Amino acid sequence: MTATCSYSGHPGSNSPTRLRRNRLLGLLVIGLILLVTCLASMSLGAREIPLREVWETLPQLPTLVEHPETAHADEQVISELRLPRTVLGLVVGSALGVAGTLIQGHTRNPLADPGMIGISAGAALAVVTAFSFFGVSSISLTAIIAFAGAILATAAVFGLATLGRGTLNPITLILGGAAITAVLTSITSALVLLDEQNLDRMRFWTVGSLTGRDLTIFWGVLPFIALGLILALATAPTVNVLNLGQEAATALGVNTHQARIFGMFLIALLAGAATAAAGSIGFIGLVIPHISRALCGSDYRWIVPYSALIGPIILLSADIVGRFVARPGEVQVGIILALVGAPFFMYLIYRNKVVTL
């Protein structure tokens, strides 16, 4: 894997100290961009609210959330509509960005995506099954069911990938994920076609959305995503070693089989929680790692935090765009990302900006 960062200047410009300082500065700049994006997410939409009013409302949010009857119109829009979708976009974007980084690192495949290991398909099938046979309609319970389906689907992929030799190989993992995804998607499609009510309910899970969610969903998935992000940062040095190749990693004392199993568990945890909260959202897990590598180089100790910040910037920006392209209605964030993401990724390939692993 090759680093893409280059710094001009005197011969010592690429020294470890200078490189670290530049990377820290990059994180600071991206953090500021994320803050501006969050403020824009709470300000822009069908009802535009001045940034000054948004800023003045922020300290009052705990009170407004607990006592919504005390809020005036703009404060009500911020606390009941804009705040939930913004904080949900924060955690979902971070989870998908880091999950994409981990799966590309563990499989050494620059085109790998969390959806390849059956996470989205498992969540969708679990939700449709709950709708069809148990009449589940609660948003919170639906999110729990989706998370369980994502984890079970990932476990099935692991089982399929380790058949035969009993070891986890990145190639067999991707192939097993594709097979499981195809089977689960077929079953889901059959259930949807048999029940017209499922068709409307499934739109959310097939395109992905931040709308219609409340803070209950955010608090429900936050512990899982926070744990996944912390463990991802902790395992980043191991991913660096795995990218040297299996023989080199083994020679350096890394149990590659256990490391990949734990890595895939983290991917399932992060992507499963994100899918349970916001449905199936593509592009983020595929492209964010490439953007991060282009900015900070090939060290996963830096790629992971960069991806955790860039992911929500891209997701919230797409959500903001979706509020304007079909006013007074909205276009779901998953559709915006699909429309923008594919051409952008092809542009990266054309400009030779996709970092090879």
List pLDDT tens digits, range 303-350: 999 999 999 999 999 999 988 887 777 888 888 888 877 776 676 666
pLDDT at residue 94 tops 90: yes
Q: What is the pLDDT of residue 352?
A: 54
Q: Does residue 5 belong to any structural domain of this protein?
A: no
Q: Does residue 6 belong to any structural domain of this protein?
A: no
**40 CB-contact burial (10 Å; exposed 0-12 / middle 13-18 / buried 19+):** middle
Q: Does residue 357 belong to any structural domain of this protein?
A: no
Number of domains, the chain: 1
Q: What is the pLDDT of residue 24?
A: 93
Residue 41 identity (one-letter amino acid): S
- Domain of residue 201: give its range: 11-350
Q: Does residue 18 belong to any structural domain of this protein?
A: yes
Q: Which residue has the tokens 């997410």?
A: 41
Q: Does residue 279 belong to any structural domain of this protein?
A: yes
Q: What is the pLDDT of residue 1?
A: 41
Q: Give the percent of the chain with pLDDT over 90.
A: 24
Q: Does residue 3 belong to any structural domain of this protein?
A: no
Q: Does residue 355 belong to any structural domain of this protein?
A: no
Between the CA of residue 160 and those of 109, 114, 166, what are the distances in Å?
Answer: 19, 17, 10
Q: Which residue has the tokens 């765009």?
A: 321
DSSP 3-state assignment of 214? coil
Please tell me the distance from the alpha carbon of residue 337 to that of residue 339, in angstroms, as a whole number. 5
pLDDT tens sequence across 102-115:
988 888 878 778 87
pTM of the model: 0.84
Q: What is the CATH classification number for the domain harbouring 276?
A: 1.10.3470.10
Please tell me the distance from the alpha carbon of residue 341 to that of residue 255, in angstroms, as a whole number. 36
Grade residue 11 by pLDDT with cuts at 50, 70 and 90: very low
Mean pLDDT of all residues belonging to the chain:
82
Grade residue 166 by pLDDT with cuts at 50, 70 and 90: low
pLDDT tens sequence across 238-276:
999 988 887 888 888 888 888 888 888 888 888 888 888
Handedness of CA 184, 185, 188, 194 (dihedral sign): negative
pLDDT tens sequence across 46-84:
788 888 888 888 888 887 777 777 777 777 888 788 899
Q: Does residue 54 belong to any structural domain of this protein?
A: yes
DSSP 3-state assignment of 281? coil
Q: What is the pLDDT of residue 357?
A: 53
Please tell me the distance from the alpha carbon of residue 272 to that of residue 228, in angstroms, as a whole number. 11
Grade residue 197 by pLDDT with cuts at 50, 70 and 90: low
Q: How many CB atoms lie within 10 A of CB 233?
A: 15
Average pLDDT over residues 276-285: 84
Q: What is the pLDDT of residue 330?
A: 82
Q: What is the DSSP letter of 113?
A: -
User: Per-residue DSSP letters for 134-146?
Assistant: H----HHHHHHHH
Q: What is the pLDDT of residue 220?
A: 86
Cβ-Cβ contacts under 8 Å for 331 (sequence gap 6 or more): 321, 322, 325
